Amino acid sequence: MSTPELSYEQARAELATVVEKLEAGGSTLEESLALWERGERLATVCQQWLDGARARLDAARTESE
């Protein structure tokens, strides 16, 4: 699970898949927990990408002003 190397799009796509699986149910508790943990990690990766992008945007803005 090389999470940091995922692109934003990869992370988001996998996150959507994880959520669908969780919503479909039918997994064991152990599997569900593992899926949820993966989902949380993926959501964090997505958020990091977005935060990073915003920070870069702000930096560029400050620089040009």
Binding site for another protein (CB under 8 A): 8, 12, 15-16, 19, 22-23, 29, 32-33, 36, 39-40, 43, 46-47, 50, 53-54, 57, 61, 64
**What is the nearest approach in angstroms of another protein to the Cβ of residue 16?**
6
**What is the nearest approach in angstroms of another protein to the Cβ of residue 12?**
7
CA–CA separation, 7 and 3 (whole Å): 9
Instruction: Give the nearer residue to another protein in terms of CB position, either 5 or 30.
Output: 30
Give buried/exposed letters for 16-47 (b at 16+ CB in 10 A, else e): eebeebeeeeeeeeeeeeebeebbebbeebbe
